[in-house]
Every structure is written in structure tokens, then in C-alpha cells.
Amino acid sequence: MNMAPPNLTSAATAQAPEAVAPPAAHADTIQKFLATELAKQRRERIANRAMAISFGLFVLLVWAIATEGGFVHALIIPSPFDTVEATIRLMRSNILWPNVWVTLQEIFWAFLLGLGSGCLLGVGVAMFAGVRATLYPYLVAIQAPPKIVLAPIFVTWFGFDMASKIAIGVVMSFFPMFLNTLTGLTSVDPNAIKLMKSLTAGRWKTFRYLLLPNALPIMMAGVKLCWTLAVLGVIVGEFVGASAGIGYLIYAMNFQLDIAGVFSLIILLSLFTLFVYQFIEWLEGRIIFWKQL
Amino acid sequence: MPTGLIEGSSLSKVYATATGPLVALSEVSFQVEEGEFISLVGPSGCGKSTLLSILGGLENQTEGVLLLSDKEHDGPRREIGMMFQTSVLFPWRTVRQNVELPGIILGLDRRQQAEEAERLLDMVGLNGFGDRYPAELSGGMRQRVALARLLAHDPKVLLMDEPFGALDEFTRETMNLELLRIWEKTGKTVVFVTHNIGEAVFLSDRIFVMTPRPGRLEGIVEVDLPRPRKAEIMRDPRYSELVFDIRGMLGVDH
Ligand SMILES: Nc1ncnc2c1ncn2[C@@H]1O[C@H](COP(=O)(O)OP(=O)(O)OP(=O)(O)O)[C@@H](O)[C@H]1O
Ligand SMILES: [Mg+2]
């Protein structure tokens, strides 16, 4: 999330070469204006954060009152205190970490392979007419069924271990990466193509200096989708048939009516996914810095 | 018979479209001498951009012969540079890096190109803006960068497709004066597309007047105004006369 307000300081301090030093009186007014403007921005930032935090606390409060006050049965929604307790219990037990480790590996490979294959095929289809003619219809067609239907088959094919979960994660995360790469590489100003052509740039130089950087913003949006779907695919796979992993654990605990445990796992998983998502967004800001100018 | 730097004979261009063949250019013949400033004027859709693309070797004519320095010309070449109505600067490159792009693509000497970029930015009045990004510049400044980039690899022929068409009147006139100054200094051959008849008369040695459906070369107008030209030349009765002649050829006045 990029909530940072436009950076006034850098715009004001970066010296335009033709800018002459303003007369002293003006410099004073500008200084004062800048100071009040910055203070205003800071106040706004704090106010925004305060509102968001208050809302979160409010939801928490409603949750606590509804559960502790006996309005909702603990088997349907556990209280926040029970959930925290369950989290601590889980973290101290020896069942959480081995399962976390399994799921982490699955997610890592699913994301990496989904990302890699999506990029590669996107580049292939965008850059080579032969690849496009051969593969594009099929790549789109395999998108038609909801890919979750493949989960049981993949478990049959690849077994109860990590491979089947990775396969499902890849199949789910691959397509947005592929499509965004393809769209990014093909949405380019025709005059820019003409310019590169006029400079006698071949396919590789056009790709390297124009198409790829031009595609990065759309590709980064694809990376974020790819990440979310890789996690989804892996967890779904663990639901369908697994002997280890967070999804498996959630399933098992739900079966044992350990709803507080399920809640804490869901929250842990969400926090992890969100954390990586934020990291990708941070990376995105670095990679496509020019969008923030 | 003396031949020009660029020589087109009976150039035609037909596009195959969903609704059948579309004749964009029909039997266009002309010569451009080395160092000449040519303008292409004509209503929208008469094939100006098409002709420019063919001159740049980006597209090939369907019929006819195109020669550059007496040799057949059918592909992009280093000695031809192109500029467009939009600046087409790459937003991820700084102003300096944008000007250095042609050198990088063409594999020219890096150090020498860096010096050249600095000199060109100076020439177009953007001294000190080298480290800015295009998003931080005004439209006029971006076109100046595009002009510097156009000159970076020192092409002999400049093909400019309405380069100042998106600028306000005041900026456009300033850019025209600068372009003339640069052209007088460097002796490049320029083919300049514009909708603006006054601009064409002000800049050119000769004006190719084109008419649409299909794109034909209606006539060529010699601009016999003295050089070097300053803005005052627009007060010259001959200037207005030429503008009105061309308007007549285009059928603007009824
Ligand atoms: N790639 C293409 N495919 C099909 N038709 C085209 C193509 N490029 C141009 N045309 C057609 O050729 C004709 C001439 O187009 P061109 O762009 O050269 O006109 P123009 O004189 O540059 O117009 P403008 O002043 O509006 O820029 C138009 O009718 C246009 O629709
Ligand atoms: Mg045009």
C-alpha cells in the first residue's frame, strides 16, 4: 500500500538550474509555507493511521463482546482470548512447526515455478509468432475449467506429498503471470516501436530496452496475483489430500472441533501471506520507481 | 540528370484492410536534395505519415522505387533519424539516458556519446536537466529532449512527423526557431510533416502539398523567402501569399 503523500520536500529542494535564488522576503514566505504544509501532511498521516487502528480495535471489541458475552457459541466463533491461547499452545507444541515448514516449501516452489513458467511463456507468446500460433489457444483453453477440479487428480498423480500441492499451486498461479506478461509486452506505444526500428534495433534490443521495462508495471501486478494464488493452490491441495501442512492441520483441527486452533492458524497464514504481499509491493515500488515520480 | 539525396519515383502504398485494399499513397514522385528542408502538408489521412515511414525504411512501398544516395532504400538505417508528435521518451530513463539511447542501440562509443548528450542538451536549452525523469518535464521540454535524442547519433536525414503538433502556439514558434537554428548550423536534410501551413512556409525550402483519397502529391511549392529567417518574415507579403497559395491547392478556401 502506498499511502505516502506526494513528497513536497524533494520537489522544493531539487534546484531547477534556471531558478534564481528568490528574494529574501519571498524565501521567508516559502519557508513558512513549506513548514505549515509539511505539518499538515504529517497531521493527516497520523489521523489516517489513527482511524485505521481505531476501526481495528472496534472490530476486536465487537468480537470479544459477542463471544465472551455468550452471544455466539464458542464452537462457531472462539473468543479472541481463546484464539490467542490456542496460538500460544500451538507455538509451544511440536505439531505447528513441522507443518509450517512443509507448507512454506510448497508455497515457495509453487510461487517460483508459477512465476517462472508464466513469465517464460508470456515472453515466448509475445515475442515469437510460432510459439503464439502453437500454444496460445491451449494456454487460454486450459483456463476454462476452474483449476480446483484438478486437485483430486493431481493428488492421485503426484501422491500425498509436496509434489501434488506444488503442482496445484503452479497451475493456479501460472495464468495471471502469463497473461500479465503477455499484456505488458504487447501494450506498447506504436511510435516507440517505430523509434526502436528506426534505430535499427533488432528483436533482442527492442525487448531489453523497450518492451521489458515497459511491461514491468503490469508484470508486477501479475506477481501479486501469482503470489496469492500460489498460496491458495497449496492450501487447497492440502485440504484435498495431505499428511502434513497448514491446510492439513486446519482440516484436522476443524474435524476435532478445535475452532480456536483453526482460527489461530488462519490468522497466522493470513499474516504471513500479507507480509510477503507487502514485501512484493515494496519491491514493486523499487522496480518501477518511475511510476511514483 | 542530377539526382537528389532521396529520390522517390511513383511510390504507391496499399494496405490490405478488412474492408478491402486501401490506397494510402498513389504514384508519388519527388526528389530531396542534400541539406534541403522539405515540409509535407496535407489534410489528415492523405498519407503523410505513411510516406515518412517509407522514407525511414520502416515500411516498404507497394510499388515504385525509392533511392537514398542512388542506392535502393528499403530498411532502417543509421543515417536516418525519426521524431514523432509525442516525445516517446522512456519514462524509466533519465533525460540524459534517453538522449544516450540511440548510441546504446547502435553500439557507439559510450564516452563520446555521453559528451554528445551533454552538448545536445545544452543546445536545446536543457542544460542541468540531465538527471531528471521525463515525468518531471513539461510537454515542450520533452519535445526538446526528443529533438536532442534525434540528433544524438548524428543522422544525415531527419524525418519529423508533426513534432510540434501537440505544443501550444507559443512553444511551437520557439521550437521552430530553434529547429531552424540547428538546421542552419548542421546542414541536415529535413522532411517535416505538419498540418500547419504557416509553419511549413516559415521553415521550408520546398513544400510538398498532398491531397487525400488516394494520397497524391498535388504539387511542390518553392519557398523563395530569404534566409536566415526570423519571426519577422511572417510580416513579409510573400509569406502570406505563399500561405494562401497552399491553402488554395488544398481547397481550404472556397
Ligand atoms: N497500418 C495501416 N493499416 C491500414 N491502413 C493504414 C495503416 N496506416 C495508415 N493507414 C491508412 O492510410 C491512410 C494514410 O494514413 P497516414 O497515417 O499516412 O495519414 P496522415 O496524412 O499521416 O494523417 P494525419 O495527418 O492524421 O497524421 C489513412 O487512410 C490510414 O487509415
Ligand atoms: Mg500522420
Query: Tens digits of per-residue pLDDT, A157-177?
Result: 988 888 999 999 999 999 999
Tell whether A237 and A119 lie within a shared domain: yes
* Rg of chain A in Å (alpha carbons): 26
Q: What domains can be seen in chain B, in order of their start residue?
A: 1-75+191-254 (3.40.50.300)
B97 touches chain A (CB under 8 A): no
Query: Which residue's CA is the closest to the ligand 1 atom numbered 2?
Result: B15
Tell whether A169 and A60 lie within a shared domain: no
In this structure, is residue A260 part of a structural domain? yes
- Is the Cβ pair A199, B153 closer than 8 Å? yes
Residue A19 has pLDDT above 80, yes or no: no
User: Which residues in A lie closer than 8 A to residue B90 (C-beta atoms)?
Assistant: 192, 209-210, 213-214
Tell whether A198 and A135 lie within a shared domain: yes
How many distinct structural domains can be found in chain A?
A: 2
Tell whether A47 and A92 lie within a shared domain: no
Beta carbons within 8 Å of B198's beta carbon, 6+ residues apart: B234, B243
pLDDT for res A176: 93
Verify whether ligand 1 is closer than 6 Å to residue B19 (CB atom): no
Shortest Cα–Cα distance, B166 to chain A (Å): 15
The enclosing domain of A105 has a CATH number of 1.10.3720.10
Pocket of ligand 1, candidates B11, B13, B15, B197: which has the most ligand atoms within 8 Å of its Cβ, to mutate? B15
Tell whether A64 and A208 lie within a shared domain: no
A116 C-beta neighbours (distance < 10 Å), count: 13
Residue to substitute from B49, B80, B92, interface A, most A β-carbons within 10 A: B92
Q: How far apart are CA B191 and CA B36, in angstroms?
A: 8
Tell whether A163 and A117 lie within a shared domain: yes
Q: How far apart are CA B20 and CA B13, in angstroms?
A: 14
Shortest Cα–Cα distance, A6 to chain B (Å): 13
User: Which residues in B lie closer than 8 A to residue A200 (C-beta atoms)?
Assistant: 76-78, 105-106
Q: How far apart are CA A79 and CA A73, in angstroms?
A: 9
SS3 B99: helix
Residue range B177-193: average pLDDT? 93
Residue B253 has pLDDT above 90, yes or no: no
Residue B178 has pLDDT above 80, yes or no: yes
Residue A22 has pLDDT above 80, yes or no: no
Residue B163 has pLDDT above 90, yes or no: yes
A264: domain range? Answer: 80-292
Residue A241 has pLDDT above 90, yes or no: no
B108 touches chain A (CB under 8 A): no
In this structure, is residue A14 part of a structural domain? no
In this structure, is residue A4 part of a structural domain? no
Query: Which residue's CA is the closest to the ligand 1 atom numbered 31?
Result: B45
Q: What is the dihedral of CA B200, B201, B203, B205, to 10 degrees?
A: 110
Residue B102 has pLDDT above 60, yes or no: yes
ipTM higher than the 0.90 cut = yes
Shortest Cα–Cα distance, B76 to chain A (Å): 5
Beta carbons within 8 Å of A70's beta carbon, 6+ residues apart: none
